[in-house]
Structure 1
């Protein structure tokens, strides 16, 4: 597992450059594979086996989830895949232009008031074009190249990373 500080988080996109970053103009020619949160769990691993218990860190007022080894199993078929998936934004990097880095979570409020979902249910996203901060609570579609790698952010452990070259509101 990799622990990333803020500078490393901001530059994690460089790792994609060594694995073939899909530039927006090239990505437009690709058809994104639409995936769901279930697709992040490797075939053969039941969802019920990735949920863990935990303990309350009363000194820091934080719930510390305890997951078994299934929570960090990643779907290797998604490494390098050009995908499109829905989710909610948990901002990591916010400025006047909008939200440029965030954790994509499966449901609104994940990681904020409850134990975070397991790493194989969280995606660290770097947006090519920042998402407007006034649309923070809107569900979104993100499209881009995915990478599988366990990482530690200031809010949770993530199992996937994505460079989002396209984002749009998710319409029901």
Structure 2
């Protein structure tokens, strides 16, 4: 018995897939840049725990960096797998990406508005230009990826039909 017939991936879906992967990669690069700013991490750890010795602070920062690397890798792999699964026509992956992307767009817009209006500065939150640029780019990429996924909705309906036909045989 043959498996389900594979349908070609529409160009809009393929572009959406790569936008998701690019956004996750840029987010990871931004996170890694923050993670490897050891001076800032040590200063923050010292500010939060002034009673700790340098060895304890170094151990905590090292552990935090390793944990951060693990989390960043898991997130990048998860986004890549979701994007590839979505490109294969799985509607559940499109829904998950929509929820994650909508949250990312909302958070990005909040950060940009807070910075642009001066609210962030009033609360003592500083944002580096590189961080703002990455926030803007990932917000735009995520919004575009969501729109493209839904512009090619027939790709997901075809997949459901093919799967149902396969199950009936």
Q: TM-score range by the shorter chain?
A: under 0.3
Q: Which structure is higher in strand share?
A: 1
Structure with the higher helix share, 1 or 2: 2
Q: Which has the higher contact order (CA 8 A, sep 6+)?
A: 2
TM norm structure 2: 0.21
- Structure showing greater radius of gyration is 2
What TM-score, normalized to structure 1?
0.21
